[in-house]
Structure 1
Amino acid sequence: MKYAINAMGAPEAQGPYSQGTTAGRLVFASGQLPVSDDGTKIVGSTVREQTSRIIDVVEAILAEVGCTLSDVAQTTVYLADINDMEAMNEVYASRFPQPAPARSVIQAAALPMGALVEMDCVACR
């Protein structure tokens, strides 16, 4: 059975989707942007700052269902500019414990709200 996640420490979904869902032992966090708590503006002007904010939001969503970043099995990172991968990697590597999740990185033509980075993930509890 599938359940929606509504974490108090993460911005509300700004459309017809959930912050995340659970299905059995799997936890799916929707694509997260580096937005303010009220979801109205981008937080941070650099890829490093925005990546850190996104991981904070993902942590809050995971915590709502008793998970941490160490439970993340897979992520997809969307970059507005693939040349920002090194900066994103610095923050990503410092926040996700080993063994690191499987990951895909994609350059997107554009991200919502002019964000430089977006990330979704799948965790297992």
Structure 2
Amino acid sequence: MTGVEQVFGQTRQRLMPAGSWDWHVPTPFSQGWKVGSLVFVGGQLSADEHGNVVGADDIEVQTRNVFEAITRVLEEGGATWRDVVKLNTYYVCNETGDAVQEFWEKMTRIRLEYLPMPGPVGTAVRVAGLMYDGFLIEAEAIAVVGSGEAVQLS
């Protein structure tokens, strides 16, 4: 399905930005959906248009590619990183000891380039693996279009 439709009184639009990767087998999955003022960004990987890994073994390159992919979906839905209220990150790190901290810091340094202050709520989950070997990070987001600046209530 493409285009815009009405579902239970809410405008619903499938988000499939040009240049986004696609699955090598036919699936009904979407890169994102805009439902009313909400934008749901599906899990984004560091992949080229054909689903091949970009930046194998490089968490910084992969993190940047994932966050750029999220940016494209957000923009297609009329949102920005300032509108993101929830961010889930799944990452593969088979290191131990200090190497885990170094991996985490590299990933987080790139993520912080995209996240405004104050940032969204977030979850980061260390996993044994992702869709295919070579992928080190996958992230998904939820945004509220036009949410703008956060207001701190006392």
| TM-score calculated relative to the size of structure 1 | 0.90
CA contact (8 A) 2:41 2:70 kept: yes
2:111 to 80, 92, 108: 92
Q: Deviations over 1:7-61 (max 9, x none)?
A: 114223553311011222110000010001x133111131111000001111111
> In the superposition, relative to structure 1, how do residues 10 and 27 fare at CA in structure 2: closer, same or farther (>3 Å)?
same
What is aligned with 1:59? 71
What is aligned with 2:151? none
2:29 maps to 1:10: no
Distance 1:9 1:102 in 2: 28
What is aligned with 1:119? 139
Structure scoring higher RCO (CA < 8 A, sep ≥ 6) equals 1
Distance 1:75 1:39 in 2: 25
Q: Report the residue type matching 2:130 in the other structure.
A: L
Larger proportion of helix: 1
What is the identity percentage for the equivalent residue pairs of Structure 1 and Structure 2?
27
Larger radius of gyration: 2
Paired residue total: 124
> In the superposition, relative to structure 1, how do residues 73 and 13 fare at CA in structure 2: closer, same or farther (>3 Å)?
farther
Structure 1: 5+ residue stretches without partners? none
Coordinate RMSD, CA, aligned: 1.6
